[in-house]
Amino acid sequence: MNKLTIRDIDVGGKRVLVRADFNVPLDEASGAITDDSRIRATLPTIKYLIGRKARVILCSHLGRPGGRVVEKLRLAPVAQRLSELLGQKVELAPHFSIGPEVEKEAEGLKGGDVLLLENLRFQPEESENVPSFAKALARLADIYVNDAFGASHRAHASIVGVANYLPAVAGLLLEKEINVLEGILAKPARPFAELAGGAKVSDKIAVFENTLDKVDCLLIGGGMAATFLKAKSYEVGLSLVENDKLDFAAKLLKEAAERGVRLLLPVDVVIADIISAEARVKTVSVEEILPDWRIVDIGPRTINNFSEELRRCKTIFWNGPMGVYEIPKFAQGTEAVARLLASLEATTVVGGGSTAEVVAGMKLADKMTFVSTGGGASLRFLGGEKLPGVEVLLERKG
């Protein structure tokens, strides 16, 4: 990465504003954090700063409050969990993420103290990247650190605006995310496979386009497989198909063949009459999909084919579940590939919100080389886009 990080500057005793991504999933009923991976992922940066007696001011968004205070989206549970993980008190700033009261608290911090600001998106100025808001955030600190890889594709005040007013460097998580993703694009150990799934082709077009000249094999499952199967003239019944992406799918199949990329589609699938736990279910070959049924998972022969291909590979990027994994009986394909990747020696990188959730839920995150905390951001990065939150950081010279 050609950007400065917290290791390149003197943070001792300084007030350091860290933009983190604490956008964690919450239990609908109790409001409890159901997966704290994103909080844990930021610990190296926070601990590094505490260790150097920086005065740490953390900020994040949580959910989509839409520019107003939403009680359920307060950051109190995050402050609580962080306190437990760090073994020290994390103060939650009062009411708003900026203002005189917060400034007073930030000023009063001692070396090694940690303060968490309230949900940035309680104020509309955050998403609108209003300069006065960015300036007010900047007033709290001497240095700005972006460790929110998962939000770095957004030109918001706390991601982009604030860098106009403070020296801006990368946190350790951001650095790691960029290094891993840059690494698999620049010099992957071969063979390099991309395993793609998830709901829609349209979300992933840029990734396919940007990586087709880099991968040795491309394996496609999940909902998006239906569009590829239809492009090959299979009957796909009521499966999720993007009819306006059939041309793209046909073009990708053709280009893959021309470039010698091995492209694997499902040869069998699990189909269901409705998408529900009560559905009737059949496993059929792709020639036998019933007109009023839909694809909900990859079948056992496909799992075998994919596994055999992936076992030969030295680098694997996986994005997108192989089926409607939210319903346990449609989760077999997704869980099988997750277990397989976890068992391999290969470099395994997982991206995408749902995919990361599956891996975390199965307690396999530690068995992967890297699970990106950035859903949309990792896909944009692999799609060749520059992330605004990374662009604004100070360049490494020479």
**What are the residues binding ligand ADP (CB under 6 A)?**
197-199, 203, 222-223, 240, 295-296, 319-321, 323-326, 352-355, 375
The 10 Å Cβ neighbour count of residue 73 is 20
Catalytic residue among 200, 251, 262, 367: 200
Nearer to ligand ADP, 157 or 226 (CB): 226
In the complex with Mg ion, which residue's Cβ is closer, 211 or 354? 354
User: Omega into 191 within 30° of 0, i.e. cis?
Assistant: yes
Question: Is 260 a catalytic site residue?
Answer: no
Determine which one of 353, 374, 375, 389 is catalytic.
353
What is the smallest separation between the CB atom of 15 and ligand ADP, expressed in angstroms? Answer: 36
Tell me how far, at minimum, the Cβ of 298 lies from ligand ADP, in Å. 8
For residue 17, the number of C-alpha atoms closer than 13 Å in the C-beta half-sphere is 31
Residue 326 interacting partner from Mg ion, ligand ADP, none (CB closer than 5 to 8 Å by kind): ligand ADP
Q: Which residue, 319 or 332, has its beta carbon nearer to ligand ADP?
A: 319
Asked if 354 touches Mg ion (CB under 5 A), the answer is yes
* Of the candidates 275, 265, 276, the residue with the CA atom closest to the CA atom of residue 299: 265
The CA distance from 391 to 386, in Å, is 7
From the list 111, 237, 376, 383, the catalytic residue is 376
Inter-CA distances, 331 with 68, 117, 296, 298, 398, Å:
37, 38, 9, 9, 49
With CB cut-offs between 5 and 8 Å by kind, which of ligand ADP, Mg ion, none does residue 321 bind? Answer: ligand ADP
- Asked whether position 320 contacts Mg ion by CB under 5 A, the answer is no
Q: Is 353 a catalytic residue?
A: yes
Please say whether the beta carbons of 172 and 397 come within 8 A: no
**229 by DSSP, 3-state: which?**
helix
Taking the least distance from each CB to ligand ADP, the nearer of 161 and 323 is 323
Active site residue 38: yes
CB of residue 243 to ligand ADP, shortest distance in Å = 15
Which of 45, 334 has the CB closer to Mg ion? 334
User: Shortest gap between Cβ of 320 and Mg ion (angstroms)?
Assistant: 8
Stretch that binds Mg ion, among 212-220, 254-262, 292-300, 352-360 (CB under 5 A): 352-360
Which is catalytic among the residues 3, 15, 38, 230? 38
Q: Which is nearer to ligand ADP, 178 or 377 (CB)?
A: 377
State the SS3 of 129-189.
Answer: CCHHHHHHHHCCCCEEEECCHHHCCCCCCCCCHHHHCCCEEECHHHHHHHHHHHHHHHCCC
Taking a C-beta distance cutoff of 8 angstroms, is the pair 269, 299 a contact? yes
- Closest approach, Cβ 46 to ligand ADP, in A, equals 26
Tell me the CA distances in angstroms from 34 to 81, 357, 360, 362, one per residue in order.
11, 10, 11, 13
Strands of the sheet with 55-59, listed across from one edge = 90-92, 114-116, 55-59, 15-19, 143-146, 168-170
Structure tokens at 157: 């005040």
Q: Which does 199 bind (CB under 5 to 8 A by kind): ligand ADP, Mg ion, none?
A: ligand ADP
348 binds Mg ion (CB under 5 A): no
- Tokens encoding 298: 């990859």
Q: What is the closest distance, in whole angstroms, from the C-beta atom of residue 166 to ligand ADP in the complex?
A: 32
The CA distance from 245 to 382, in Å, is 20
Question: Considering the rule CB under 5 A, would residue 353 count as an interface residue with Mg ion?
Answer: yes
Q: Give the residues lining the site for Mg ion (CB under 5 A).
A: 353-354
> Which residues are the active-site residues?
38, 200, 353, 376
